[in-house]
């Protein structure tokens, strides 16, 4: 039995990681919840237990075999090297290492072979929560020879953290009460609105989130030249992301075959007769499904609507699945 630490345990993703570790009975003798000074004297739930939050700047990484970092890129850049220097294997859910050629970027059902031959002290990056479900939906369709991907994302505010949830709630209440409200997390009001830019723009006019989708998807799918057009939009939804996907392929399209490929890969494919014909982000929240509906084709283009819980499935679950795969591979022995 091993010991592990969850760094960023008080955040939305950190709490979900702890919940999943307990639910899936990850074989850890002890789990440490670690976070910054703002969470001193706080606790978080781990199954039926309450864990005291350990202070990151005082935590001894030599006590654990695995650290799951879900605390953001600044924390990762400072503390991941310290953890690895202590011999700790690290899974990092931040953008600090996702495009580092020396660090595998992994979704086990997409490119789990990247976890082969890893040794203790290795670092594995986990993709953006917008990228992971999309990559899992596209992986079964690669044999159809993709030529171009066009995707629009509809991203809930939980992707921006706890303060973003509070801002949406406060603005919504203020509007109903005919009070003024402030924009702190988002530059413009998010309540009853949509914001067609997530992150700063680069010199080409592409937003940070859109660039992440393009670069991380190409790396995960091992399709470095695939043309990808991405538009990322923040919507006034608390939890659950959605994607409108259009994939042009070279092969002839048989929708029955496409559906069979998706189902065989573990995706939830909803027909027109089920669930009213489509799944919304609200319905996708709180479960481990990656839901595909509105599946159709136009000429050589496959189109579908995708929905998933961004915190649980897009972020936390993938970190736990990577940990499980590494454990089975004997990395921690």
Residue ranges per structural domain of the chain: 3-126+315-329, 131-156+194-308
- Provide the pairing of β-strand 89-92 with 66-69: parallel
d(CA 118, CA 84): 13
Q: How many of the other CB atoms lie within 10 Å of CB of 135?
A: 23
- What SS3 state is found at 125? strand
Catalytic (active-site) positions: 129, 241
Residue 192: pLDDT band (50, 70, 90) is very high
**Which pLDDT score, from 0 to 100, does residue 41 have?**
87
Residues 119-138: pLDDT tens digits?
999 999 999 999 999 999 99
pLDDT above 90 (res 76): yes
For the residues 76-94, what does the mean pLDDT come to? 97
Instruction: Measure the CA–CA gap between 199 and 106, rounded to whole angstroms.
Output: 23
Q: What is the mean pLDDT of residues 164-186?
A: 95
Look at residue 1 and tell me whether its pLDDT is greater than 90: no
| pLDDT recorded at residue 30 | 96
In the chain, the percentage of residues whose pLDDT exceeds 90 is: 95
- CATH of 3-126+315-329 given 3.30.930.10, 2.30.29.30, 3.40.50.2300, 3.40.50.720: 3.40.50.720
Q: How many CB atoms lie within 10 A of CB 111?
A: 17
> By percentage, how much of the chain surpasses pLDDT 70?
100
Q: What is the reported pLDDT for 40?
A: 87
Across 12-21, 69-78, 113-122, least confident range: 113-122
Residue 173 three-state SS: helix
Res. 277: pLDDT tops 90: yes
pLDDT at 247 over 90: yes
Q: For residue 199, which of 208, 190, 211, 210 has the smallest C-alpha distance?
A: 208
Distance CA(273)–CA(276), nearest Å, equals 6
Instruction: Among 79-83, 109-113, 180-184, 205-209, name the one with the lowest average pLDDT.
Output: 180-184
Buried b (16+ CB within 10 A) or exposed e, 232-264: bbbbbbebbbbbbbebbbeeebeeeebbebbee
Read off the pLDDT of each residue in 251-263 and give the average, rounded to a whole number. 95
**Domain 131-156+194-308 CATH class label:** alpha beta
Q: Which two tokens stand for residue 221?
A: 């799918």
C-alpha separations of 10 from 35, 190, 252, 306, 323 in Å: 7, 24, 48, 29, 19
Q: Is the pLDDT of residue 33 over 90?
A: yes
The tens digit of pLDDT for each residue in 236-245 reads: 999 999 999 9
């Amino acid at each position: 039995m091993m010991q592990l630490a969850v760094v960023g345990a008080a955040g939305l993703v950190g709490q979900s990681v702890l919940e999943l570790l307990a639910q899936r009975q990850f074989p850890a003798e002890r789990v440490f919840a670690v976070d910054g000074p703002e969470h001193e004297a706080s606790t978080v739930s781990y199954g039926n237990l309450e864990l005291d939050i350990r202070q990151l700047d005082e935590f001894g990484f030599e006590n654990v075999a695995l650290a799951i970092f879900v605390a953001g890129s600044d924390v990762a850049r400072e503390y991941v090297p310290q953890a690895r220097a202590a011999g700790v294997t690290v899974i990092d859910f931040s953008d600090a290492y996702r495009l580092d050629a020396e660090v595998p970027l992994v979704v086990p059902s997409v490119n789990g072979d990247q976890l082969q031959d890893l040794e203790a002290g290795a670092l594995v990056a986990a993709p953006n929560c917008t990228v992971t479900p999309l990559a899992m939906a596209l992986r079964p369709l690669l044999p159809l020879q993709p030529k171009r991907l066009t995707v629009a994302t509809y991203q809930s505010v939980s992707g921006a953290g706890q303060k973003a949830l509070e801002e949406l709630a406060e603005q919504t209440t203020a509007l109903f009460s005919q009070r003024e409200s402030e924009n702190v997390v988002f530059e413009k009001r998010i309540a009853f609105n949509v914001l067609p830019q997530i992150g700063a723009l680069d010199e080409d006019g592409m937003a940070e989130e859109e660039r992440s989708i393009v670069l991380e998807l190409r790396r995960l799918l091992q399709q470095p030249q695939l043309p990808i057009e991405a538009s990322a939009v923040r919507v006034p939804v608390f939890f659950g992301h959605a994607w409108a996907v259009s994939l042009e392929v070279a092969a002839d399209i048989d929708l029955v075959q496409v559906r069979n490929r998706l189902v065989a890969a573990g995706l939830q494919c909803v027909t027109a007769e089920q669930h009213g014909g489509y799944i919304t982000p609200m319905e996708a929240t709180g479960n481990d499904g990656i839901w595909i509906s509105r599946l159709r084709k136009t000429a050589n283009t496959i189109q579908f609507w995708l929905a998933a819980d961004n915190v649980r499935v897009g972020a936390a679950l993938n970190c736990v699945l990577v940990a499980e795969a590494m454990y089975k591979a004997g990395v921690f022995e």
